[in-house]
Amino acid sequence: MIVTVRFLGLLANWAGISQAAVPLPPGSRFVDLLAEIGRRWAHNMPAQMWDSERQAFIKPVTAAVEPGGALAPQTPLSDGQTITVFLSAAGG
């Protein structure tokens, strides 16, 4: 299966791309995509955004899919999905 990963804002600068098609085995979950993101792009991301040991983003980085919203590590992925990765913002 192939999922599309979109990096928004500063994350696109750090990853060096704004969008990429990522092939994954059928039945993959978000944790599998995170491992692939780590393999391909983590070396460009600052430590405050990516945890290399856990192979996961660190808040305030959020990954979401439509419909459905934020993704948990064990969320199943589907062929053709687009996962958007962005910095969460807070206001006050």
pLDDT computed for residue 90 by the predictor: 52
User: 9-43 burial, b for 16+ CB within 10 Å, e for fewer?
Assistant: eebeebbeeeebebebeeebebbbbbebbbeebbe
pLDDT computed for residue 29 by the predictor: 96
pTM: 0.88
Domain ranges of the chain: 2-87
pLDDT computed for residue 35 by the predictor: 95
pLDDT computed for residue 59 by the predictor: 84
Topology annotation, domain 2-87: Ubiquitin-like (UB roll) (3.10.20)
CB 84 within 8 A of CB 8: yes
CB 57 within 8 A of CB 73: no
Per-residue pLDDT of the chain (92 residues; tens, 9 = 90+): 999 999 998 889 888 899 999 999 999 999 999 999 999 998 888 888 888 888 888 888 889 987 778 888 999 999 999 999 998 765 44
How deeply is 45 buried, as exposed, middle or buried, from its count of CB atoms within 10 A (0-12, 13-18, 19+)?
buried
pLDDT computed for residue 87 by the predictor: 86
Residue keyed to tokens 């969460």? 88
